[in-house]
Amino acid sequence: MNLIIMGAPGSGKGTQAALICKAHSLPHISTGDLLRKNIADGTELGKQAKAYMDAGKLVPDTLVIALLRNRIEQADCKNGFLLDGFPRNKAQADELGKITEIDAAINLETDLNKLADRMASRRVCLKCGYTTSVQDAPDGKCKVCGDSLVIRDDDKREVVENRLKVYAENTAPLVEYYKAAGKLKNIDGMQSIEDVNKAIEAAIK
């Protein structure tokens, strides 16, 4: 079972990806992690990617696809995988289709305004990593270690709204792409973690 998971920042995509992978013994392939691992391991493709990144340029699709091809040819992917963070646009989806068959594209549908509110209210403890919301910690103190809670830079309202805008612009064509291919599984991502997971399991059975 070769799966893609799509969802806006803050939609719970990472949480759901972990649950799906555990339930079906699938490797979770994040292109960001894949790039970092190849760079750390000093592979030939990693060196090429690093040269682009050091120059402040985007790593070209052809290079990312080559990294993905190498990864999905590994033994742990023989029964399938879950792709997270790729493809990001139609051109990448076309290239991906040339190297592997995708069985389903899971799309976590969310209300972007509510998502922006949720992310902007998120608070994190830098000391122990505890995460909560401003509503659940009105005193601004961590319930675990008592340290002060802060808002991360990427959770600030203007940053969140820009990230969601970019996501919506880039991902809307992908939703149509996989819908046309009969592979799209739309899931209401505003439900509880458990209900979202149940809906995903029912959709991919």
Task: Tell whether omega for the bond before 87 is within 30 degrees of 0, i.e. cis.
Answer: yes
Q: Which residues, including other chains, have CB under 8 Å from residue 81's CB and lie 6 or more apart?
A: 2, 3, 26, 27, 28, 29, 72
Residue 13 annotated as catalytic:
yes
Q: Which listed residue (71, 118, 123, 163) is catalytic?
A: 163
For residue 88, indicate whether it is catalytic. yes
State the catalytic residue, choosing from 88, 141, 179, 183.
Answer: 88
Active site residue 152: yes
Instruction: Let me know the angle formed at the C-alpha of 60 by 54 and 66, rounded to the nearest 5 degrees.
Output: 110
Q: Which of 47, 152, 156, 157 is catalytic?
A: 152
Residue 133, token pair as written in the block: 């919301």
Phi, psi at 74, each rounded to 5°: -75, 155
**SS3 sequence of 14-82:** HHHHHHHHHHHCCCEEEHHHHHHHHHHHCCHHHHHHHHHHHCCCCCCHHHHHHHHHHHHCCHHHCCCEE
13, 71, 123, 185: the catalytic one is 13
Q: Please state, in angstroms and rounded to a whole number, the distance separating the CA atoms of residues 31 and 58.
A: 13
As a whole number of angstroms, the distance between CA 169 and CA 89 comes to 10
71 is catalytic: no
Active-site entry in 36, 50, 69, 122: 122
Query: What is the set of active-site residues?
Result: 13, 88, 122, 152, 163
